[in-house]
Structure 1
């Protein structure tokens, strides 16, 4: 009797790979069946499989990636100063407007970003009203450029203009800097495209009172260690993207003694403290440039397949990869966010994904750290188990673990760090991002929050470019 005949005389225990129909039929016949969740690498696309084969197990790639991850983990971002954007942001001019995401022209901008540009032009005194601002924006006299190409980041529309004060983060380990505006608070704000008098008045107050007082306090402090604050926050229920309660609270605790020593008018100091205290997301505009400073230190390493930027402009999603020099972008269509809508709104109201805040996920926190921030699911939808599952899954597409940002719900395992383009394509697992939803019309504001994934096209294009570049 042949072995095959012997096999079928016994009760079968089957592992089924592929269509679940076979599992169902075998189960009906009494067989023990386990369905294996398997897909062909790279979605079965021959061109991508060839690129993967070329890039697997190359010593120079592994060495470059080890260096990139090492730089990210070793980075020590410190809040060292506040200054006017035109004084410190590389390439900034009076007629430059920086925005979130990859490059985009005025004509193609999403509604929230157009509204924020209009507000910035009015704030700068370059236009008196909406009509003048629209005409100027379309005239070609304004230079629009991604924040990421100027060592900066910005939430939602991400607009930075010349007169805006920016928080300056220095990566003390590698000596590079990153910049971000101060968080405006909630309600009608520029980052969601609002540009009424209330918005402009608040921006002027940030410029003339909050910014200068905070600058003096930070200088008196000798610098606020943002890495330390993030490390503590992620063990206190924050993931430092959509939940920043602990981070903002600790920042207030760290900065208040120095605010009280600035010599500023006591009533002005009270206004500053109350403003920060009333805005749980104030810390977001510190965690974002902290992550930016760490990732920029890992950008431009020859042969590295590590993702150093993920961002979106409301029309396109863009990534940059360490091994592709300068400002090489790989883009795909911005996706719709799936989650919870605020009362009175539906998915029809939402704009596609927008903002630079996915820099947090790129660095291993944000959506990657949701497992340690179970309360976030009340904001973005899902369950605490979902949040934990997201964090566990991200280890499959990353190269290392950052012990600085340990997750208490994963037995203090370090944050999954160093998104590898190869692993994303081979596994079919896309990075998870939790984020807010902006209304598609300028000025309405936030209409919900949820979870989104990048378009796979970004990673496919990056993989093919790396395969061409790495010999």
Structure 2
């Protein structure tokens, strides 16, 4: 046992938790310092944490959730219109994020819905479309409720073509629309003539040619492409250059050999090759397949969806079924296009945070240091972000690996209790939509979910836990 006098005669060694200034001051005086990375839990969560951490089902439930996520496969098996793939009928539109009404919809969500009305021929002017939408004549439903995901506004109408992915391990299916490219596009809330014309070409040419190529080729292993693209400098959310190239290479012979007119094939190849984000709309349903496999496990604290509708940010948790836990979506911090700035930005929007939920995207930024040129920050920030995400996840992915970390698996399986205990929020990298309907994309950046999502989810998990004692 150390005696009081020993403090004056023996070398001092300090263990410091939290107070960085104190630690730096001691280190400057050559005092050995042992830093402890400790943070208080999120305010007001202590009682709920005790209940959830004491749940005897939790450890086994989370192990099962992890097992299912890591075992899930993702194969592109078809390309079909939404009316055939998802049963979307005229007068019904799907959208990104948790449920939303027209009255609460943000500018880009409203713009995308107006554009979908014009595209489907349900209105002849934007004003007429807006009147119908405001009247409640159009049904709105989250993409997630139909087994789909949609980037940004995520609006899906019956005539839009969808990628259809299958998980042969668990039997699941997931869907996503085809990627339009960047700039003034429907998913960012633009609805001008060029947007509608592009959607019509995608319906008449792009969708049918991709369908024929996929059916001729047979299932395309999307999970294998994701694993490879992480080795090639992509992170799977805002950088998909390698993934798009790998996908096009996989299907090119079947596109060319399908007997379609040469000018149409050339158009499709140019469009996909010129759109570095084309593969995002395949990565998203691949991630949804994995996370859907982990749903509905009593006692599990794993997050199985993060999604935003431009007004609300919502999460779903394995152990609480289809219930959404929401909070106000925040405006991303990042880089802006041209003369746009933060005043032009809409709060966070889109289902694409399913990538982070599955362990890629913002969680894998260390695999794609060039991403900082698109979303802001410096290369060390990308590395530090991925390292920080290991603190709030349950596992490391066995297929998705980060080369700079010695091929360590990406941090996978966000744990509500670890978020609450550390105060660390998931990091998402994302595009930024203009807040005014019709604007389109104004930038790209980084954003976190609101704390309220996780405190509410933790409370629900505590309510569902067996009584203590």
TM-score, normalising length: structure 1: 0.95
In the alignment, which residue of structure 2 is the partner of 1:305?
301
Q: Which of 318, 325, 328 is the equivalent residue of 1:330? A: 325
Q: Which of 405, 408, 431 is the equivalent residue of 2:403? A: 408
In the alignment, which residue of structure 2 is the partner of 1:60?
57
Q: Which of 267, 291, 297 is the equivalent residue of 1:295? A: 291
In structure 1, distance between residues paired with 2:147 and 2:447: 25
In structure 2, distance between residues paired with 1:210 and 1:384: 37
Where 1:345 maps in the other structure, the secondary structure is coil
Residue 52 of structure 1 and its aligned partner are, at CA, apart by 1.2
In the alignment, which residue of structure 2 is the partner of 1:200?
196
In the alignment, which residue of structure 2 is the partner of 1:140?
136
In the alignment, which residue of structure 2 is the partner of 1:367?
362
In the alignment, which residue of structure 1 is the partner of 2:92?
96
In the alignment, which residue of structure 1 is the partner of 2:7?
7
In structure 2, distance between residues paired with 1:28 and 1:184: 55
In structure 1, distance between residues paired with 2:29 and 2:427: 40
In the alignment, which residue of structure 2 is the partner of 1:270?
266
Where 1:86 maps in the other structure, the secondary structure is helix
Residue 137 of structure 1 and its aligned partner are, at CA, apart by 0.4
Q: 1:373 to 1:139 in 2, by over 3 A?
A: same
Q: 1:278 to 1:31 in 2, by over 3 A?
A: closer
Where 2:148 maps in the other structure, the secondary structure is coil
Q: 1:22 to 1:384 in 2, by over 3 A?
A: closer
Residue 188 of structure 1 and its aligned partner are, at CA, apart by 1.6
Residue 343 of structure 1 and its aligned partner are, at CA, apart by 2.5
Residue 9 of structure 1 and its aligned partner are, at CA, apart by 4.5
Q: Which of 165, 168, 171 is the equivalent residue of 2:167? A: 171
Q: 1:4 to 1:239 in 2, by over 3 A?
A: same
In structure 1, distance between residues paired with 2:124 and 2:404: 52
Where 1:41 maps in the other structure, the secondary structure is coil
In structure 1, distance between residues paired with 2:201 and 2:25: 69
Write the mapping of 1:202-241 to structure 2, written as runs, cut at 5 A: 202-241=198-237
Gaps of 5+ in 1: none
Q: Which of 437, 440, 445 is the equivalent residue of 2:440? A: 445
In structure 1, distance between residues paired with 2:441 and 2:139: 27
In structure 1, distance between residues paired with 2:2 and 2:417: 43
In structure 1, distance between residues paired with 2:18 and 2:249: 55
Q: 1:113 to 1:431 in 2, by over 3 A?
A: same
Q: 1:89 to 1:2 in 2, by over 3 A?
A: closer
C-alpha contact (below 8 Å) 2:78/2:211 kept by paired residues: yes
Residue 401 of structure 1 and its aligned partner are, at CA, apart by 1.2
Where 1:460 maps in the other structure, the secondary structure is helix
Please identify, of 228-237 and 187-196, the stretch whose mean Cα deviation from structure 2 is larger.
187-196
In structure 2, distance between residues paired with 1:112 and 1:363: 26
Tell me whether 1:254 sits opposite 2:250 in the alignment.
yes
In structure 2, distance between residues paired with 1:464 and 1:117: 34
In structure 2, distance between residues paired with 1:8 and 1:96: 77
Q: 1:35 to 1:207 in 2, by over 3 A?
A: same
Where 1:208 maps in the other structure, the secondary structure is helix
In structure 2, distance between residues paired with 1:27 and 1:403: 39
In the alignment, which residue of structure 1 is the partner of 2:40?
40
Residue 38 of structure 1 and its aligned partner are, at CA, apart by 2.9
**CA-atom RMSD in angstroms:** 1.8
Count of aligned residue pairs for this structure pair? 466
Alignment deviations for residues 106-165 of structure 1 (CA, whole Å, 9 cap, x no partner): 011110110000000111111111111001101111111111111011111100011111
C-alpha contact (below 8 Å) 2:82/2:159 kept by paired residues: yes
Residue 442 of structure 1 and its aligned partner are, at CA, apart by 1.8
In structure 1, distance between residues paired with 2:25 and 2:165: 60
Q: 1:28 to 1:321 in 2, by over 3 A?
A: closer
In structure 2, distance between residues paired with 1:419 and 1:275: 35
Residue 323 of structure 1 and its aligned partner are, at CA, apart by 0.7
